[in-house]
Amino acid sequence: MPDTAARFVWKLARRHSWGSPIPADELIRLVARTEDYDELEATLEDDVLELPFIVQSPEGVYIPNGQDTHVAAASYLQEQTEVDEFTIKATLSRLPEDWPNEE
């Protein structure tokens, strides 16, 4: 998964309980590989937090637990990553039965 912003979204989808935000510092540590912390922080602030299905509260960053946000996040992951549809659907619990083929 080469796109750093997509790695943030994937970690959010995989690592938090719905409705339980992950503090930004912890999220950056989860995403970190060899990237510089400041670069990751900038990606989080400039790219990830701008996505319409990502929310930041005083408690942290999260994907809200609703069908519209899950569909948006799933579509983003489908376009930006190589994660297969089955894994995305198993991860985002609020997707409609016919995702990704819904009209």
Domain at 86, CATH number:
1.10.10
- The predicted model scores a pTM of 0.86
- Overall number of domains in the chain: 1
Question: Which residue range forms the structural domain that includes residue 38?
Answer: 4-91
Percent of the chain with pLDDT over 70: 92
Residue 32 lies in a domain: yes
Residue 100 lies in a domain: no
Closest CA to 91 of 22, 11, 7, 5: 11
Residue 35 lies in a domain: yes
pLDDT confidence of residue 1: 40
Residue 103 lies in a domain: no
Helix pair 67-80, 4-15: axis angle to 10 deg: 140
Residue 37 lies in a domain: yes
User: 3-state SS of the chain: helix, strand, coil percent to 5?
Assistant: 50, 5, 40
Q: Which residues of the chain have pLDDT under 50?
A: 1
Residue 26 lies in a domain: yes
Residue 51 lies in a domain: yes
